[in-house]
Amino acid sequence: MDERARVVVVEDDPTVRAAVDAYLRANGYAVDAFGDGLSARSALAERIPDVLIVDRMLPGISGDELCEQIRAVSDVPIMMLTALGQVEDRIDGLESGVDDYLTKPFSLRELLLRVGALVRRARSAASSGEISDGDFRIDPARRRVWVRGAEVALTAREHDLLAFLVRNPDRVIARDEILREVWGWSVGEASTVTVHVRRLREKIELDPQDPRHLHTEWGAGYCFSPQGRLR
């Protein structure tokens, strides 16, 4: 990497924490590792990293609680580590505002690739020019979004998803394409997209139950209309 990206790891298992710390450092990252959520929260109040990796089950405060508290003040990309593999458990993590998840036991190589994807996507968005179409204006460099003239707070992944949709207006986009282009995944759970689309609708639509902009095309994917479809 040209500049050392900083990663904060929050994992109560000392063996896993040490392995992740050492592997990321060996591959060029600056790493701060913590064994509990309270210590990590104090450090994060002082400085936000490029990527935050959080175990879901933590002493003090849970990973879900930590993610929700950090998400209230920052759009830092968050990856959640979890021993729970059910779809419902992954959805709960996504509802906490995380951008990616990895189920234990996991490959350190896969973790490295996913961290790299989060860093590259955040830096790429920051170097892009302003996007404007219809009711939407996006400033990728400052990661700020305006909808109908009012600024809206989005997570890092919600921001990337909206930017992708605004760049691809009025066409049906399959969930697999969204996973590939926004998450950088060749394989993944469709529920990941579903959860983020629902969260995005809650922030950009006047009536999320009757959306004008972000429509589900059943059996095909989603279609985004920056101008808003006529009712």
User: Residues 212, 228: contact at Cβ < 8 Å?
Assistant: yes
First CA to last CA distance, the chain: 49
User: Residue 1 above 60 pLDDT?
Assistant: no
Provide the pLDDT confidence category of residue 2 given band limits of 50, 70 and 90: very low
Residue 41 CA: distances (Å) to CA of 9, 33, 35, 37, 139: 11, 12, 11, 6, 28
Q: Which of 18, 7, 167 minimizes the C-alpha distance to 100?
A: 7
pLDDT digits (tens, 9 = 90+) for 150-173: 999 888 888 889 989 988 888 899
Q: What is the CATH number of domain 128-224?
A: 1.10.10.10
pLDDT digits (tens, 9 = 90+) for 172-190: 999 989 988 888 776 667 7
Tell me the average pLDDT across 120-134. 74
- The domains of the chain are located at 6-125, 128-224
Provide the pLDDT confidence category of residue 6 given band limits of 50, 70 and 90: very high
Strand bridging mode 214-217 / 221-224: antiparallel
Amino acid at 103: T
User: Residues 190, 219: contact at Cβ < 8 Å?
Assistant: no
Most confident of 51-65, 90-104, 186-200: 51-65
- Specify the fold of 6-125: Rossmann fold (3.40.50)
pTM: 0.63
182: left (phi over 0), alpha (psi -120 to 50) or beta: alpha
